[in-house]
Structure 1
């Protein structure tokens, strides 16, 4: 179940990221030529990536810690390591998915469903 959610999230992120890149490139090119809007967009892109990396690391650590704590508190429980790994990966991708979804919506000027 978690692995299926991970696959869905990755496919959605790929579509949103491609759309974001396509919409951002002309804006960033103008920024390289001195346009202030393009320069703000570049700064926004950079700060989003730094904060997403920080959030992603924290989310992955938290999901992994919850798994190991659950195992330590109930050592006889049946464990599906594949699901646990998928849950950690899913948690670590969420900060990036949230930003790519928001950027695709913002740059295309339309509201997108989650």
Structure 2
């Protein structure tokens, strides 16, 4: 009887990759919706509308805070990777898992904000 030679690491890496791709696709859809909904508000703000100017300020502050949070997350993930590598031998599965975790942690601040903006601007509640 033949036994499966599939390694658990490869299954885990595949699932993590799918999760990251799904997150990126969702972020792209939410970002497109946010841009479409925000553009008319920003145009009014360019002509002196207070709501449009607040929205522009909010957009800039959100992006700066997301970049800072994302930078911290990737630094944290890299530090954990190097500490784990110093303590345990490196395996291909561990390397893939560390890369997937770093990608997930780096994308999360942007994902959270694009989802919230799309919900807020479109009037839908999640």
Q: Deviations over 1:15-54 (max 9, x none)?
A: 0000000000000000001000000000000000000000
Instruction: Pick the structure with greater CA Rg.
Output: 2
Report how many aligned residue pairs link the two structures: 111
Task: Give the conservation status (yes or no) of the 8 Å contact 1:55–1:95.
Answer: yes
Structure 1 equivalent of residue 83 of structure 2: 69
Are residue 78 (structure 1) and residue 86 (structure 2) matched? no
Structure 2 equivalent of residue 111 of structure 1: 125
The DSSP-based 3-state class of the residue aligned with 1:110 is coil
Counting only pairs closer than 5 Å after superposition, residues 37-56 of structure 1 correspond to structure 2 as 37-56=51-70
Distance 2:22 2:97 in 1: 15
Unaligned runs of 5+ residues in structure 2 are: 1-14
Post-superposition offset of 1:85: 1.5
Distance 2:34 2:22 in 1: 18
Structure 1 equivalent of residue 33 of structure 2: 19
RMSD: 1.2
Match of 1:91 among 102, 105, 113: 105
Unaligned runs of 5+ residues in structure 1 are: none
Q: State TM-score, norm by structure 2.
A: 0.83
Task: Give the conservation status (yes or no) of the 8 Å contact 1:13–1:97.
Answer: yes
Task: Give the conservation status (yes or no) of the 8 Å contact 1:31–1:37.
Answer: yes
